[in-house]
């Protein structure tokens, strides 16, 4: 995550990074919820 934020100072790139990060976290939470 450090590399993404240091390489992408633009708003658009940061938004894309946050979107991908949130999607990944949501997927992990959903998989954990359905597996337990």
| Structure confidence at residue 2 (pLDDT) | 56
Instruction: Give the Cα separation of 36 and 31 in Å (integer).
Output: 9
pLDDT tens track for 1-36: 555 555 546 677 778 888 999 999 999 998 998 888
Here the tokens at position 13 are 């790139």
| Cα–Cα distance for residue pair 27/32, rounded to 1 Å | 8
pLDDT of 5: 56
pLDDT of residue 12: 76
Return all residues near 1 (Cβ < 8 A) that are at least 6 apart: 17, 21
The pLDDT, as a whole number, for residue 23 is 92
- 3-class secondary-structure state, position 9: coil
d(CA 18, CA 34): 24
> What confidence score (pLDDT) does residue 21 get?
92
């Amino acid at each position: 995550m450090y590399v993404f934020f240091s390489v992408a100072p633009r708003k658009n790139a940061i938004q894309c990074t946050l979107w991908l990060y949130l999607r990944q976290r949501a997927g992990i939470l959903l998989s954990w919820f359905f597996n337990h």
